[in-house]
Structure 1
Amino acid sequence: MSVRRPRGDAPDCRYLGERVTAGGWTNAVRYRDDVAGSATGGQYEGAWVWGGNVDVGKDPSPLVNGC
């Protein structure tokens, strides 16, 4: 699932989880947000998303508070 958000529309919050490597990226950040899944065609409220799939510029984003 790929999640792309406008720069001014940050996820609800973030936390550090297990480090995961996928597609050449390693990341331990998870974000909670309302997301639309391009792979599943669904929309999910309050979903947890791996940081490597969220366009926030830098992980963890300084614009997103911890949960």
Structure 2
Amino acid sequence: MPQKDPCQKQACAIQKCLQANKYIESRCEDVIRAMRMCCEHAGENSICCSGFSREQKSTEPKIPGAS
């Protein structure tokens, strides 16, 4: 049985927050911060963090699953 992604909960929370706030990232800073923290701990064990952790220093992080 495949192991659940350790940061999937945070990635989903980001999508939900962004959708609820018309994709205004500043309104979702807390959930984005939680995703960054999860990625710092999970690192390469999370597919949700691919691309996200590379963009941490950017002012506009790429959100996994967002277009």
Q: What's the TM-score bracket when you normalise by the shorter of the two chains?
A: under 0.3
Q: Higher strand share goes to which structure?
A: 1
Q: Higher helix share goes to which structure?
A: 2
State the TM-score, normalizing by the size of structure 2.
0.22
Pick 1 or 2: higher relative contact order, CA cutoff 8 A, min separation 6: 1
